[in-house]
Structure 1
């Protein structure tokens, strides 16, 4: 693994911190004819809360799994911290406001990063136009992957969505504005509505300065628009993972939110489950499938069970 900084030509004066894994292949696998993944770059897209370091466990498990089973490895695996996140510098174009840059800017940064890196890290100095991308994403990273694919069709061959954020909600409206009665149950719902609003409403700033206020307008539906065709005009593969309802509710109750499990299970989990089901319809049924529940995992599946994530990535690569 190589950890280093890179400066995008489009944003001089600031750097992104990246981690590149270019697994050492066997002599046979290094041959582009015998290794069907010699043109494949796996890119990991963070959510807001966890930086690129959170993918290390899954990446290490993936490399070990593929080697132990004598399966070819992709040409490279890339994780990175977006501007304002983890070890990367703040976005140099942000103004002195709580919001800064929008999702479209993050998508443009990703494209520029890949444009600069691909000739360097892919065999035979392949350009981005010659590469096949697999996007492994968590939370808002899934929304950014959808926006990237729409802006750059023909690039992405496969997606693994790890508990995508519900991009089309303000989170507050998941709960009734005026729950019936003044009993304890109604008070629990009022607390949940306030807590989710304080932490997750699109108007709440974040350290990354990624402005989420227009995200619902950019992605108003879970099931459309369809993900565009990937390299060679082929329909991409998509795997959608969802959190374990009980574990997520437990974490919400015991964590900083302090929202009762009963409220999460009544209002949040059903809505999130329906959203994930919608995501599976972004590709034809034979290229996706039902939502897979990550048993024992909350929202951050890559942290809670990196080995499970590695297995899902490996299966996705085999499906290509």
Structure 2
């Protein structure tokens, strides 16, 4: 059952551009005048070259963690929140939610971890993957390659910014991810067990599904047109299948060069395998899906022009079933969801940055307080 929540090392490292800091949060009305609000952190907008891929830069935005003292230790001092993009939106799409999250923590004088967003190779401000042999759009590399790059990237960031005196350690990672970023986060946790402390999934890609095939096939033998919703023709369904296959099919290349041809093989099930997270336990997990009405409206008014009744009848239920499987990839009591991001389409961070910030706050509270949730897998 879904629940709704309202949206109110030896690296090349250069600073690329000046940054005008966002305005710090205003002093809340209930804040004592004697208490000073900690300063809003100044982000670093920069590039880094991976040690194993010289000659190509990755662009990133980094917010340092809150200070840690013997009297007020930061429980997230050894943690790193990493935002993982989908295919369509670059790292800049996270900025509003990052700012909102930091504002909430600072105004309440609560500690916060370091925040890191980045553009994968071929995205946003980053260079193309130097290992890609063809120009974009192409199938230059797959999600497993993106996972290896992410491991090297986070390791170098950790060495340079957070663990200078003891760079052999690795941070407890918390991934905030959208769309295919959720698949990359799952593969990372599988490939590098014991590293991921928390996961916030925002409308994960259905990694094991060809989206063109979620619709009925009117040309299949024995197809019964009477099963279609009222007012929907065979042509409507056929058009939806063709449009989705041409835009989202796993064989369609993209400008990032990130191939999805083998994604269903890499992640054949939404409900497994069970992840081994930081400290040998399953990671804390929050699974969020899009608002059905909002997604149906955006699918109709967007380039696909999919009739809303089709999206409501076929696409939304399929996505909900996939999300219900995702809550099973961690230990019992560690998962929350699937939640519905009210008012948000597929790009939750764009439509609801406050929702993303609130869910990250909630996830961190569970992490630091070791709170487990009542399981809803059996309808409880």
Fold match by TM threshold 0.5: yes
What corresponds to 1:256 in structure 2?
303
Consecutive unaligned residues in structure 1, runs of 5 or more: none
Aligned counterpart for 1:224 among listed residues 272, 275, 278: 272
Instruction: Describe how 1:72-221 pairs up with structure 2 within 5 A.
Output: 72-74=111-113, 76-96=114-134, 98-122=138-162, 125-127=165-167, 129-178=169-218, 180-181=224-225, 184-221=232-269
What corresponds to 1:236 in structure 2?
283
Give the TM-score, by structure 2 length.
0.80
Query: Does structure 2 conserve the Cα–Cα contact (< 8 Å) formed by 1:241 and 1:293?
Result: yes
Consecutive unaligned residues in structure 2, runs of 5 or more: 1-42, 368-380
Structure 1 pair 13–159 and aligned structure 2 pair: CA distance change class (3 A): same
Query: Does structure 2 conserve the Cα–Cα contact (< 8 Å) formed by 1:54 and 1:303?
Result: yes
Deviation at residue 68 of structure 1 after TM alignment:
1.2
Note the alpha carbon deviations across 1:173-207, whole angstroms, 9 max, x for none.
10122164498522211111111011100011111
What corresponds to 2:23 in structure 1?
none
1:63 aligned to 2:110? no
Query: Does structure 1 conserve the Cα–Cα contact (< 8 Å) formed by 2:65 and 2:77?
Result: no
Deviation at residue 285 of structure 1 after TM alignment:
3.2
1:301 aligned to 2:352? no
Note the alpha carbon deviations across 1:35-88, whole angstroms, 9 max, x for none.
1111110000000000000000010000000111221111x1110000000000
Q: State how far apart, in whole Å, the 2-side matches of 1:56 and 1:139 are.
A: 17
1:9 aligned to 2:48? no
Note the alpha carbon deviations across 1:119-153, whole angstroms, 9 max, x for none.
21215545473411101100000000010111101
Q: State how far apart, in whole Å, the 2-side matches of 1:129 and 1:190 are.
A: 53
What corresponds to 1:285 in structure 2?
332
Aligned counterpart for 1:22 among listed residues 64, 68, 84: 64
Q: State how far apart, in whole Å, the 2-side matches of 1:71 and 1:149 are.
A: 28
Structure 1 pair 153–32 and aligned structure 2 pair: CA distance change class (3 A): farther
What corresponds to 2:81 in structure 1?
42
Note the alpha carbon deviations across 1:3-53, whole angstroms, 9 max, x for none.
11110011111110011111453xxx4459721111110000000000000
Query: Does structure 2 conserve the Cα–Cα contact (< 8 Å) formed by 1:23 and 1:63?
Result: no
Structure 1 pair 109–60 and aligned structure 2 pair: CA distance change class (3 A): same
Three-state SS of the structure 2 residue aligned to 1:203 is coil
Structure 1 pair 32–100 and aligned structure 2 pair: CA distance change class (3 A): farther
**Structure with greater helix share of residues:** 1
Three-state SS of the structure 2 residue aligned to 1:163 is strand
Q: State how far apart, in whole Å, the 2-side matches of 1:224 and 1:105 are.
A: 21
What corresponds to 2:38 in structure 1?
none
When the two chains are superposed, the root-mean-square deviation of aligned CA atoms in Å is: 1.7
Structure 1 pair 165–197 and aligned structure 2 pair: CA distance change class (3 A): same
What corresponds to 1:319 in structure 2?
366
